[in-house]
Chain A
């Protein structure tokens, strides 16, 4: 019987630091950036931060289908530069990503440029010092940068998602280095993101999306809710992203900057109203989709008349598939994040430790 605190990872001894660094890079055990050496001492401290046994399985990571355990997650977290207190959030993220509903096999292996995108909501944001304001998508903040990076290192080192190998993405995505954002709760004019996802206000959650890079929504002109949302809908309702052509099972993320969110909410619109407006207006004419986008009539909703070229095809199946988050600092910018399109975002509660 293996002791609970026994570490099973292979131990590698090198003559000096340079040899160790070069060996890791030569084996492609990295995202290409420098990394913190995963010594036993650091790994044990990281495992302690998880509050779980080292051997506990957390998920099976495709396409290699290797098991992510507290131990190998901790090793990758050390390499990424995480603090031990980040572990519960990191583990919740990987549990969410390994949920079959997320479709991680496809997300990892596809030619599409999607990256596992973390959206964090709740008390854990302040506790870990996650950035939710200026530069919400990065860079400059350790918790966001290293948590997103640790997820990627697990996807590479445990899951085998190496570019050109287990990861066949045609062009990749800068978010594949790190993609971790947090909710600006104080600037959110509606219920917090986690509450909209069905969790309690006092809980902390992480939601994973298979996000493309954020597409900017620049609007310095509109002063009403509807005009502002029209610009958002315009950015969303184009062809070329996966959700435009593969309606059926996907969902998307809209990240409103606080000023846009304030303008919209000042018009009396709830989050639900925003979802409905965008569902109604972020659409593409069937004729355009049929000619230029991926033609997948089999996945179109039955209520859409395929004989009517002027019919407008929504990018998701229902308004609730448009998730709305508030993040960012002052300024008139928001972002639209299309997704892989065939699966769903998944939320997990973040355990409190200690």
Chain B
């Protein structure tokens, strides 16, 4: 005998949003670093900064730390306005 059941899966309310336009170049930008405070994330970010600095000549590097690795970063909207691009690193 056939059986009809209801799906237990939740529905997502989806809102389409365009992604931010890509930068044409990293030359001379203020680069933001968002760090989750886990061990070694600073090592990874510092090496990336060295490479980008040599290649593009960054104007400035601005560092921001999350309160903790599992806690959401605060003030991201303000941070985004202050810098041209952000690199986030998750260490462990």
| Chain A residues in the interface with B (C-beta under 8 A) | 7-17, 20, 24, 29, 37-40, 43, 61, 64-69, 72, 75-76, 79, 103, 106, 110, 153, 157-159, 246, 248-249, 295-296, 298-299, 340-342
B33 CB, min distance to chain A CBs, angstroms: 16
Q: How many residues of B contact A (CB 8 A)?
A: 19
Q: Give the chain A neighbours of B6 by CB distance below 8 A.
A: 7, 9-12, 38-40, 43, 75
Name the one of A61, A75, A103, A106 contacting B8, with C-beta atoms under 8 angstroms.
Answer: A75
Q: Give the chain B neighbours of A159 by CB distance below 8 A.
A: 10
Asked if B20 CB lies within 8 Å of chain A CBs, one says no
**Contact of B8 with A153 in the complex, beta carbons under 8 Å:** yes
Asked if B25 CB lies within 8 Å of chain A CBs, one says no
Asked if B68 CB lies within 8 Å of chain A CBs, one says yes
Q: Give the chain B neighbours of A299 by CB distance below 8 A.
A: 68
Complex Cα gap A15–B71 (Å)? 47
Most chain A CB atoms below 10 A, which of B1, B6, B37, B68 = B6
Complex Cα gap A39–B7 (Å)? 10
- Classify the secondary structure of B's interface with A: loop
Interface residues of B in 1-24 (CB under 8 A from A): 1-13
B32 CB, min distance to chain A CBs, angstroms: 20
- Known pairs A103-B70, A295-B39, A299-B68; A37 contacts B3 (CB<8 A): yes
Mark contacts of B50-73 with chain A using CB atoms, 8 A cut-off: 1 yes-contact digit, 0 otherwise.
000000000000000100101100
Complex Cα gap A261–B6 (Å)? 46
**Contact of A14 with B2 in the complex, beta carbons under 8 Å:** yes
Q: Give the chain B neighbours of A69 by CB distance below 8 A.
A: 10
12 contacts between A and B (CB under 8 A): A10-B9, A13-B4, A14-B2, A16-B1, A20-B3, A40-B6, A66-B12, A106-B71, A158-B8, A158-B10, A246-B68, A298-B65
**Contact of B8 with A29 in the complex, beta carbons under 8 Å:** yes
| Chain B residues in the interface with A (C-beta under 8 A) | 1-13, 37, 39, 65, 68, 70-71
**Contact of B9 with A66 in the complex, beta carbons under 8 Å:** yes
Q: Give the chain A neighbours of B7 by CB distance below 8 A.
A: 9-12, 29, 75
Q: Give the chain B neighbours of A76 by CB distance below 8 A.
A: 8
Complex Cα gap A16–B1 (Å)? 5
Q: Give the chain A neighbours of B12 by CB distance below 8 A.
A: 64-67
**Contact of A106 with B11 in the complex, beta carbons under 8 Å:** no
**Contact of B10 with A298 in the complex, beta carbons under 8 Å:** no
Complex Cα gap A248–B37 (Å)? 14
- Known pairs A103-B70, A342-B70; A39 contacts B8 (CB<8 A): no
**Contact of A12 with B8 in the complex, beta carbons under 8 Å:** no
**Contact of B10 with A17 in the complex, beta carbons under 8 Å:** no
A66 CB, min distance to chain B CBs, angstroms: 3
Q: Give the chain B neighbours of A79 by CB distance below 8 A.
A: 8
Q: Give the chain A neighbours of B4 by CB distance below 8 A.
A: 11-14, 39-40
Complex Cα gap A57–B9 (Å)? 14
- Known pairs A157-B9, A159-B10; A110 contacts B70 (CB<8 A): yes
**Contact of A38 with B10 in the complex, beta carbons under 8 Å:** no
A211 CB, min distance to chain B CBs, angstroms: 16
A344 CB, min distance to chain B CBs, angstroms: 12
